[in-house]
Amino acid sequence: LCKYLVEELGFDVNAETSCDSGMTPLFCAVLDGQEIIVKYFLDKGADPNKKDAAGFAPLHEAAKKGHVGIARLLLSKGASVDVSSSEGTPLHVAASNGK
């Protein structure tokens, strides 16, 4: 379905949700641990550093949930290890969540 929406209908992989969360499709895939979809969105040009409305980047969420494979994908596509949020960097988030 994601492939159809992006490739056939031209959906923007960096578009934010219509609510005030500011989440992109990539961010949603990271939250749900969908590694194959995360890779697809990154390969289609999704911004790995785009923060949500709360100031969290996808790498923060991967770190919080312990999604190591997703974190590796994000880093391989240019995710910043120094991106900061109200909870610190992704390393701070991983450490505080025991991941």
Domains of the chain: 2-96 (1.25.40.20)
Could you tell me which residues come within 8 angstroms of residue 5 by beta carbon, excluding any fewer than 6 positions away?
11
Of 37, 20, 7, the closest CA to residue 28 belongs to 37
pLDDT for 19 equals 67
pLDDT for 3 equals 81
Structure confidence by residue, pLDDT tens digits, 20-79: 688 899 999 999 999 999 999 999 999 999 999 999 999 999 999 999 999 999 999 999
Contact (Cβ atoms closer than 8 angstroms) between residue 58 and residue 48 = yes
Contact (Cβ atoms closer than 8 angstroms) between residue 58 and residue 26 = yes
pLDDT for 13 equals 86
